[in-house]
Amino acid sequence: MNGETILPYLIIVPLFGAFSMPIISLAGRKAREAWAVIISGITLLVGSAVFHSVYENGPMLYTLGAKSPFGKANFPVRIVWEVDLLSALMVLMVTLVAFLAVLYSLGYMKHDTGLDKYYTLILILELGMLGIAITGDLFNFYVFLEIMSIASYALVAFRNDTWEGIEAGIKYMFVGSIASSLVLLGIALLYGQYGTLTMGYLAVKIAQNPTVVAKVALAFFIAGLLFKSGASPVHMWLADAHPAAPSSISAMLSGLVIKIGGVYALARILFSIYGSSVNMKTVGWVIIIFACITLIVGNAMAVIQTDMKRLLAYSSVGQIGYILLGIGIGLAAYGSRTGDIALAGAIYHTFNHALMKALLFLIAGAVIHELGTRNLNELSGLAKTMPKTTFAFLIGAAAIVGLPPLNGFASKWLIYESSAMFNPILATIAVIGTAFCTAAYVRVLYTFFGKPSEKVMNARDPDATMLWPMIILALAIIVMGLFPWQISDKVMIPVAKALENQLGYIATLMGGA
């Protein structure tokens, strides 16, 4: 079976799984849980196969409802799914973390009710993200963005017995909808001006006739997607929404949603659509400015949190700053070696952070599950009673701080190095951000390894369904850390090159004729 044949199953499988969930749920709790694991497991297999196929055979193009994107017109008119190496990597990341989140949910959500809705939403969230990663059509992208966003709003407010979830969900939905509207407005402007929604063909049309309308649309895209990424100063929703969601969902929101719906979408639009049509230096510097604010504000806010999940949420904001810094330098130094390294670092850190932050949120969930609190002041001495969980936290924290030889080091190093080559002041800001990040995580570790408080004495490590996803993520972090440059050279640099190669993206679309 070749890549193009299996690609639709990336959407079909979770879509079928989500909508059949209420029916399967009639057969009981065990059937529902097994169904969720099977569906997300099959999606992981399909995602791995898609990645393997793209890695071996190059980009793939799938036209919906026709053999060619041209249909009967003389320009690409059909909806296309275009998967290059970056998309494929994102697909692998989404399917892997989503599978582990579903597995973790079996133990974590066992005391909750309404789980048919929960598993339906989690699969819809996954398919929304997968759609964003693979689509080559701008309106199709918007549809998947909304599918992902609406599932996220609902999941943030899933535990509606507390005010926190509902308030966070409403805030997230309200401002998230404004951000989505900006993206939709950008798409409408481009469609009105150029008469096409196919990303590759839009790139050609904008390059032929770059107009003010295209720039206005770009501004709307950047603003809307910076919001979805959780970049500062439009990050405040994230610190409300991510801690309020159940921890398995927090892992997906912080690990995946802000990457796919934010930085990936931003990078795709900036490089694949606008690549040769705007002043890359200006756009790059705009992103860099937001990146610097983000990595300082996010990491600094993490230092002063007493709520463990809120600390992790602010830390996610900080890490998005590093990814945006890499993308910004990749744009501003487009075509140079510095730009390549920065972009590879950004993509590498996107993948690494998905693993690290998923792990840390799953750990936070295990702690909440056992102790019913996420207040750091009450978690002193946790290492004594939850040693495996604490060890996993140690791995995750060390990786996110960028301690060698874990995976976070390699990606951060690439970002530091490229920023030092591009502008040493940026490297200094990045290091200051890391100093804050270190302070925030050392504080948690200090708490965990401190004198055991009475509250933690009865806690114990969670059961296997919750522990295994954490172990798998911790192992992935360690193993990826052992081969940093092999991964960088064989995967991340080619992915960065694929993203930069706008002509290749267009050729894949046109070659499908």
Partner 1 sequence: MLGYWDALYFVFVFIIGLILAYLLDKWAKRSGMGTRETGDGTKIFISGEDPDRIIPGFEHLEGNYTGRNVMWGLTYALKNFFAVLRRDHTGLLTDYASYLVITTAFVLGVLLIWG
237 part of the interface to partner 1, by CB under 8 A? yes
Helices and strands (DSSP H and E) totals, the chain: 24, 2
Q: How many CA atoms lie within 13 A of 457 on its CB side?
A: 5
With CB under 8 A as the rule, give the number of residues binding partner 1. Answer: 48
Burial of residue 192, with CB atoms counted within 10 A of its CB: 0-12 exposed, 13-18 middle, 19 or more buried: exposed
Q: Which is nearer to partner 1, 233 or 511 (CB)?
A: 233
245 part of the interface to partner 1, by CB under 8 A? no
Per the CB < 8 A criterion, the answer to whether 116 and 158 are in contact is no
Q: Which of 234, 320, 406, 495 binds partner 1 (CB under 8 A)?
A: 234
Give residue 286's identity as a one-letter amino acid code: V
Least Å from the CB of residue 204 to partner 1: 19
282 part of the interface to partner 1, by CB under 8 A? yes
- Report the length, in residues, of the chain: 513
Q: Which of 166, 286, 431, 471 binds partner 1 (CB under 8 A)?
A: 286
d(CA 396, CA 449): 15
CB atoms within 10 A of CB 236: 15
Here's the x/- map for partner 1, 430-449, by CB under 8 A: it reads as ---------x--xx--x---
227 part of the interface to partner 1, by CB under 8 A? yes
d(CA 485, CA 483): 6
φ and ψ of 81, to 5 deg: -110, 120
Per the CB < 8 A criterion, the answer to whether 374 and 307 are in contact is yes
CB within 8 Å of 489: residues ≥ 6 apart: none
Per the CB < 8 A criterion, the answer to whether 95 and 468 are in contact is no
Q: Which of 9, 194, 220, 393 binds partner 1 (CB under 8 A)?
A: 220
SS3 (DSSP) at 460: coil
d(CA 104, CA 18): 18
174 part of the interface to partner 1, by CB under 8 A? yes
d(CA 370, CA 348): 33
Q: Which is nearer to partner 1, 445 or 510 (CB)?
A: 445
Q: Which of 188, 223, 445, 471 binds partner 1 (CB under 8 A)?
A: 223
- Phi-psi category of residue 402: left, alpha or beta, with phi > 0 → left and psi -120 to 50 → alpha: left
Least Å from the CB of residue 341 to partner 1: 6
179 part of the interface to partner 1, by CB under 8 A? yes
Per the CB < 8 A criterion, the answer to whether 308 and 364 are in contact is yes
300 part of the interface to partner 1, by CB under 8 A? yes
Token pair for 476 = 């992935």
Here's the x/- map for partner 1, 303-342, by CB under 8 A: it reads as xx------------------------------------x-
Token pair for 96 = 């892997």
Least Å from the CB of residue 301 to partner 1: 6
Radius of gyration of the chain (CA): 22
φ and ψ of 62, to 5 deg: -130, 125
Least Å from the CB of residue 181 to partner 1: 10
Q: Pick out residues in 347-386 that bind partner 1 (CB under 8 A).
A: none
Least Å from the CB of residue 457 to partner 1: 23
Here's the x/- map for partner 1, 451-490, by CB under 8 A: it reads as ---------------------------------xx-----
297 part of the interface to partner 1, by CB under 8 A? yes
Least Å from the CB of residue 279 to partner 1: 5
279 part of the interface to partner 1, by CB under 8 A? yes
Least Å from the CB of residue 219 to partner 1: 4
404 part of the interface to partner 1, by CB under 8 A? yes
Q: Which is nearer to partner 1, 70 or 416 (CB)?
A: 416
Stretch that binds partner 1, among 40-48, 193-201, 218-226, 465-473 (CB under 8 A): 218-226
Token pair for 149 = 């966003």
Here's the x/- map for partner 1, 182-201, by CB under 8 A: it reads as x-------------------
Least Å from the CB of residue 262 to partner 1: 13
Residue corresponding to tokens 């009710």: 113
Q: Which of 137, 187, 222 is nearest to 505 (CA)?
A: 137
SS3 (DSSP) at 211: coil
Q: Which of 506, 510, 505, 502 is nearest to 68 (CA)?
A: 510
Least Å from the CB of residue 79 to partner 1: 28
Q: Which is nearer to partner 1, 26 or 212 (CB)?
A: 212
Question: How far is residue 237 CA from its own chain's centroid?
Answer: 16
Residues that bind partner 1 (CB under 8 A): 170-171, 174-175, 178-179, 182, 212, 215-216, 218-220, 222-224, 226-227, 233-234, 236-237, 239-240, 278-279, 282-283, 286, 290, 297, 300-301, 303-304, 341, 404-405, 413-414, 417, 421, 439, 442-443, 446, 484-485
